[in-house]
Amino acid sequence: MTSVVHTAELPGLDLLHRGKVRDLFALPDGRLLMVATDRLSAFDVVLPDPIPGKGEILCQLSNFWFARTADLIANHLTGDSVAAALPAG
């Protein structure tokens, strides 16, 4: 069975905002970490049953388009490795 990420829990990081689908954390170096979850939103309502793997696909789509359009317009993406962004420990 595939695990579901309904709520991102990252001990040691401050949760700044929990949106309909994404959770936003403050990193110690001042950058932000945006985590796409498996929550499902329709018509501004978060539905009770998440979709396994949805957050991972959302991240892959975002990373693809940020990389694809980087030569056209600046964006906020500084990397796609969560492990590299997290503080040690």
pLDDT at 1: 55
User: Where do the domains of the chain lie, and which CATH numbers do they carry?
Assistant: 14-85 (3.30.200.20)
Which phi-psi region, left, alpha or beta, contains residue 78 (left: φ > 0; alpha: ψ -120 to 50)? alpha
Per DSSP, the three-state class of 55 is helix
> How far is Cα 51 from Cα 30, in angstroms, rounded to an integer?
31
Listed in order, strand segments (DSSP E) in the chain are: 14-18, 22-26, 32-36, 40-42, 45-47
- Is the pLDDT score of 17 beyond 90? yes
For 28-40, the pLDDT digits (tens) are 889 899 999 999 9
Rounded mean pLDDT, 59-64: 92
Give the helix, strand, coil percentages of the chain, each rounded to 5.
20, 25, 55
